Amino acid sequence: MKKVLIKKLWQGHLISIRDYVVEQGIKEGGIEVSHNGETMALSIDALNRGKKLTRDLRSKFPNSKNYGLIDYEWKPCDIRQPILNILKEDIC
């Protein structure tokens, strides 16, 4: 699973990932996205459902290829939830 760090959200609820990073994530079985200490996992199916709204942006580095951005809804995982489920099973 490929790991990606996102610095800011677009419109407060969307993450944008470069198209070539999404292609790498599909080959590696998914992407784990981190933002402000929270994480979100994107499966191959979720990666294929992203919305490509931006195309042909230029990199600020010379001799780099153009890229597009693919947007996904930011839905971080609650890391406490699996712990709560384990505790519930132990109590019952």
Domain of 8, in residue numbers:
2-91
**Bridge partners of residue 62, in order along the sequence:** none
Bridging pattern class, strands 31-35 and 2-5? parallel
Tokens read off for 40? 């979100």
pLDDT score recorded for residue 7: 94
Residues 6+ apart with CB under 8 A from 18: 67, 68, 69, 70
Query: Model's pTM, two decimal places?
Result: 0.76
Q: CA Rg, the chain, in Å?
A: 16
Give the Cα-Cα-Cα angle 48, 51, 55 (nearest 5 degrees): 110
Q: Into how many domains does the chain fold?
A: 1
pLDDT in tens, 11-64: 989 999 999 999 999 999 999 999 998 999 999 999 999 998 877 888 888 888
pLDDT score recorded for residue 80: 57
